[in-house]
Amino acid sequence: MKGADPYVAGHGDLSFDVLHHDLTLTYSVPSNKLEGEAVLRCRATERLTQLRLDLRLAPSRVTLGGRAAKRFTVSGGKLVITLPTPLEAGEEVLVGVRYSGNPRPIAKRGLDAAGWEELADGVIVASQPHGAPSWFPCNDRPSAKGTYALTFTTAADYHVEFSGEPVTERRRGATRTWTFRQTEPIPPYLATVQVGRYQVLQQKAVVPMRVVGPADVRRNGFSASFGRQPEMMAFFVDRFGAYPYAGYTAVITDDALEIPLESASLSTFGRNFASADWDSVRLVAHEMAHQWFGNSVTGARWQDIWLHEGFACYAEWLWSEESGGRRAHEWARHHHKKLSDEDQPAPLADPGPDHMFDDWVYKRGALTLHALRRDVGDDRFFDLLRSWTARHRGGSVSTEDFLAHCTETLGRDVTPLLTPWLHQTALPPLR
């Protein structure tokens, strides 16, 4: 099945958007049983006779505009709903789906499994790039941005987080119900649920910030990594522009994790990242920077992943410079030398599905930005980043959009400078 994006086959549909997702979920941690009801406000972008949603759990009832849908099928991870009358471009319909099952990560050829995953005692959801259908029906493509409301009920001794702002928390007997909302449009892969035996630590910062984790999470190197998040946030707001969400949450699981995980207004780390080691500190900065680059300003196609990872990687070097560590140019020289000893398999602006999460994409993307910064100077470079995040807040972008923005903002064509970094495989020299 072709799907909406050649990098992630079989996922997403360009013929409609989901403007809002209203999710009501009940979950049992011991049995990993999820029961859900989703109401999606969908708008056609072309004439439709069917709606094709991505979903890996079993639907039991489907409605259209509140009335039972007479014809729907499930096959190959798709819930296909036949419309009683065609939907014209621009018209909207409310789609209700009642479903249940035992969610698990979705395996995909050439990609790591992604989605809903059980921890030793709780849940972690990491959906990039194809895991969202593991727990709710959606149009699973990065350019399908919508708002969210979540009601989540589980055992009362667990804490729940979502990639949005908490609204209410109510205990009833042995269960607790949490409600959240996300009013900024985000794609399905950036919606997450985290469930664990957690406590909340409030942090004073330029935006509301919280660290959620086990009771003993502040041991070891917490102060050097998560303890400095308020400083990171203030620095990034100055360099990147207004923070795009109502607040920021860092969830620290009791389990160790190999890598941190990004989602909208929330990042997830294993307790092993509560460390003073630079490799931990830089990733705390990296995930925070994704709130601007990747989460708010999102590549419309997976091939433009450097617009996420290159920018977040460069934010690591900027934080190192700001916090008294190695300067960004030192990091650039270091990684340029490492990359010069390797052969890049594809251009940065189209690395291919097998390579889009390779480390060279991150580092070469950061080097591209550093080359631009060295060419135009700090003042114009950071003005460029701030205007980029402001203009495209909540939107979907491409490499071509970034080049056009550079030309417009700087008043000159930077294509000759950036084309070798973006569209050639040979590594350009670092000035």
Q: Distance between the two ends of the chain, CA-based, in angstroms?
A: 45
pLDDT attached to residue 219: 79
3-class secondary structure, 180: strand
CB 11 within 8 A of CB 20: no
Reported as a single tens digit per residue, the pLDDT across 263-320 is: 999 999 999 999 999 999 999 999 999 999 999 999 999 999 999 999 999 999 999 9
- 249 Cβ contact partners less than 8 Å away, ≥ 6 residues apart: 161, 209, 210, 211, 212, 265, 266, 267
CB 188 within 8 A of CB 127: yes
The structural domains of the chain, ordered by start, are 1-190 (2.60.40.1730), 198-291 (1.10.390.10), 298-423 (1.10.390.10)
CA-CA-CA-CA torsion sign (247, 323, 201, 23): positive
Reported as a single tens digit per residue, the pLDDT across 236-271 is: 999 999 999 999 999 999 999 999 999 999 999 999
Which pLDDT band holds residue 2 (cuts at 50, 70, 90)? low
pLDDT attached to residue 431: 82
What are the beta bridge partners of residue 8? 5
C-beta contacts of 378-383 below 8 A and 24+ residues apart = 380/409, 380/410, 382/239, 383/409
User: 3-state SS of the chain: helix, strand, coil percent to 5?
Assistant: 30, 35, 35
Give per-residue burial for 221-240: e unless 16+ CB within 10 Å, then b. Answer: bbebbbbbbbebbebbbebb
Q: State yes or no: pLDDT of 198 exceeds 90.
A: yes
User: What gap in Å lies between CA 412 and CA 76, rounded to an integer?
Assistant: 49
User: What gap in Å lies between CA 374 and CA 381, rounded to an integer?
Assistant: 9
φ/ψ bin of 370: left (φ > 0), alpha (ψ from -120 to 50), beta (otherwise):
alpha
User: What gap in Å lies between CA 278 and CA 166, rounded to an integer?
Assistant: 32
Question: Which tokens go with 426?
Answer: 């040979």
Q: What percent of the chain has pLDDT over 90?
A: 97
Reported as a single tens digit per residue, the pLDDT across 222-235 is: 999 999 999 999 99
What are the beta bridge partners of residue 68? 63
User: What gap in Å lies between CA 173 and CA 281, rounded to an integer?
Assistant: 41
3-class secondary structure, 378: helix
- 412 Cβ contact partners less than 8 Å away, ≥ 6 residues apart: none
Reported as a single tens digit per residue, the pLDDT across 92-115 is: 999 999 999 999 999 988 899 999
**Cβ neighbours around 84 below 10 Å, total:** 11
Which ranges of 323-397 does DSSP label H, i.e. alpha helix?
A: 328-340, 359-376, 378-391
pLDDT attached to residue 148: 98
Which pLDDT band holds residue 218 (cuts at 50, 70, 90)? confident
User: What gap in Å lies between CA 35 and CA 152, rounded to an integer?
Assistant: 10
> Tell me, what DSSP letter sits at residue 11?
-
Q: State yes or no: pLDDT of 329 exceeds 70.
A: yes
Average pLDDT over residues 124-146: 98
CA distances from 38 to 67, 133, 135, 179, 204 (A): 14, 12, 10, 14, 35
User: What gap in Å lies between CA 119 and CA 235, rounded to an integer?
Assistant: 33
Cβ burial of 113 (10 Å; 0-12, 13-18, 19+) is middle
pLDDT attached to residue 1: 52
